[in-house]
Amino acid sequence: MKDMNLSLAYIVVLLFVGIALLVFAYGLFTLPNRKNKRPPLLKKTGVPGTPGVCPICGTVLNKNEQIKTALYPGEDDRICHIFGCPHCHPYADENTARRCPVCKKPLPAEGYLFARLFSRPGNKNHVHILGCSSCRLPKKKN
């Protein structure tokens, strides 16, 4: 009888140790790893018109990011539509405001800028922004 009580005590102790190990393993593998947690990257903003800065939202672009444009045929002077960078087109990031650099009004998601692209042989091309689809296009009359 004494052996049976002793073995029952061992089973109860082993059961509690097993439960404690399961709880410890669950906490170890399910909690987020604090070493790999990085603070969110802050978006750098610059002055629109500066090279490497989106003219619509003012975000400083990384080397692998480009502004989405449509370029129309022409000689030295070509018409260009500027839609935005990956931060503001087709969907604007959080805390990113799309604004026209000419009229300073908010630019809707489907809006774009009108610009002229001047090709200069031997030099970099020059872009002159004329306005947005809101301030540059004629208003419809009823």
Place of tokens 């774009």: 112
What b-and-e string marks burial along 37-74, b requiring 16 or more CB atoms within 10 Å of the CB?
eeeeeeeeeeebeeeebbbbbbbbbeeeeebeeeeeee
As a whole number of angstroms, the distance between CA 141 and CA 96 comes to: 32
| Per-residue pLDDT at 31 | 66
Residues 61 and 58: their CA atoms lie apart, in Å, by 9
**What is the pTM for the complete model shown?**
0.62
Q: Which residues contact 120 (CB under 8 A, 6 or more apart)?
A: 126
Cα–Cα distance, 66 to 29 (Å, whole number): 40
Compute mean pLDDT per 10 residues along the chain, 142 residues long, and list them. 67 89 83 54 69 87 88 85 87 82 87 88 85 79 62
Place of tokens 């004629």: 138
